[in-house]
Amino acid sequence: MLLREVEYARPRTVEEAIDELAANDGARPLAGGQTLINVMKARAASPDVLVDLQDLDDLRGITETGSGGLEIGAMTTYSELTSDAAGARSILGEVASSIADVQVRNRGTIGGNVCSNDPTNHFPPLLVAMNASFTIRGRDGERTVGADDFFLGVYMTAAGPGELLTKITIPAGGQDGFAAVTIGRDGTAIVAAAASLNGGARVAIGCVDAVPVRARAMEEKIGHDFGDENVQAAADGLGATLQPPSDVHASSDYRRALAEVLAVRAVVAARERR
């Protein structure tokens, strides 16, 4: 496929990358390219300038900050997450290893996954459940946005034009779970649910709205009782609070039902993790 004509830059530093992104409204960061190149083929996106982040080593790697806390560079690939580097937060590797296939996992990045914010992506609900925060750099400096404020809409996040997501910070913890019904093994999610138990429970549902939806009523009902019966009871009524889309893969009602089932599975998986 011949892409539309595009300009290209390969900055050596984060500052240069931000300058390039800020200099042109039509500039887009190119991370792993496993979404962007394909949407360019389909002309669903037509950036004027691609800013290739491959040389920005500052954006790579996983650092443990203690008690299960992590700092993950935005350019860390799915394959790197599946290694042992994620330490106590092995959920990250498990989820990464269920994305697409080897080729995509070798190139695709966690930063690209969250910044593209396709509603079917795996990491947005997981990182909302894990209460991650997102460090964004622009010409005016650096800011940190919480998980509940980062995802703004379909394909839209708090990282705006001229800005770059540099790292994702995951607070201390360790009991995380993820459950999804997908189109084929390791395929696109129809509904996904993620849970992280850290004192109380944080539960987030993906594929039911433009952004991950916190199951706040369920979280409150769960309280500190992660037993089967209580979790099951807490999920009752979750589906009715959602307005998921209907499409060829599932009706809205079916997604409501799945959300309840998968939220329970995610919490139980988190509880059982040792």
Partner 1 sequence: MSTESSKRITLTVNGEEVEYDVEARRLLVHFLRDDLDLTGTHVGCDTGNCGACSVLYNGELVKSCMLLAIQADGATVETVESLAGDGELTPLQQAFSDQHALQCGYCTPGMLMSATALLRANGQPTEEQIRKAIQGNICRCTGYVNIVKAIQAASGQATEG
Q: Is 5 in the site for partner 1 (CB under 8 A)?
A: yes
Kindly state whether residue 103 participates in binding partner 1, applying the rule CB under 8 A: yes
Stretch that binds partner 1, among 47-55, 65-73, 237-245, 247-255 (CB under 8 A): 47-55
* Residue from 14, 37, 152, 261 in contact with partner 1 (CB under 8 A): 37
Told to check if 14 binds partner 1 by CB under 8 A, we report: no
Query: Is 2 near partner 1 (CB under 8 A)?
Result: yes
Q: How far is the CB of 45 from partner 1 (least distance, A)?
A: 13
Q: Strand 62-66 to strand 156-157: parallel, antiparallel, or no bridges (unpaired)?
A: unpaired
Binding mask 152-191 for partner 1 (x = CB under 8 A): ---------------------------------xx-----
Task: Please give the Cα distance from 123 to 50 (Å, whole number).
Answer: 24
* Contact between residue 194 and residue 177 where contact means Cβ atoms under 8 Å apart: yes
Going residue by residue from 201 to 240, which x/- string records binding to partner 1, judged by CB under 8 A?
----------------------------------------
Do residues 253 and 165 lie in contact, with contact meaning Cβ atoms separated by under 8 Å?
no
Residue selected from 83, 106, 243, 246 as contacting partner 1 according to rule CB under 8 A: 106
Tell me how long the chain is. Answer: 274
Q: Check binding of 9 to partner 1 (CB under 8 A).
A: yes
Extended beta strands in 148-225, E state: 151-153, 156-157, 164-170, 175-182, 189-198, 200-206, 213-214
Binding status of residue 16 toward partner 1 by CB under 8 A: yes
Helix axes 228-235 and 252-272, enclosed angle (nearest 10): 160
**At 135, which helix (H) or strand (E)?**
strand 133-138
The residue (of 46 and 63) whose beta carbon lies closer to partner 1 is 46
DSSP reduced 3-state for 180: strand
25 binds partner 1 (CB under 8 A): no
Task: Report helix, strand or coil for 57.
Answer: helix
Q: By the 8 A CB rule, do 15 and 155 touch?
A: no
How far is 89 from 180, CA to CA, in rounded Å? 18
Name which of 100 and 172 has its Cβ closer to partner 1: 100
Q: Does 144 bind partner 1 (CB under 8 A)?
A: no
Which of 14, 22, 45, 52 binds partner 1 (CB under 8 A)? It is 52
Question: Residues 18, 21, 31, 49: which binds partner 1 (CB under 8 A)?
Answer: 49
From 25, 38, 57, 161, residue interacting with partner 1 (rule: CB under 8 A): 38
DSSP string, 10-53: --SSHHHHHHHHHH-TTEEEESS-TTHHHHHHTTS---SEEEE-
Q: Where are the alpha helices (DSSP H) in 52-98?
A: 78-82, 91-96
Which residues form the interface with partner 1 (CB under 8 A)? 1-11, 16, 19-20, 24, 30, 33-34, 37-38, 41, 49-50, 52, 54, 79, 100-104, 106-107, 185-186
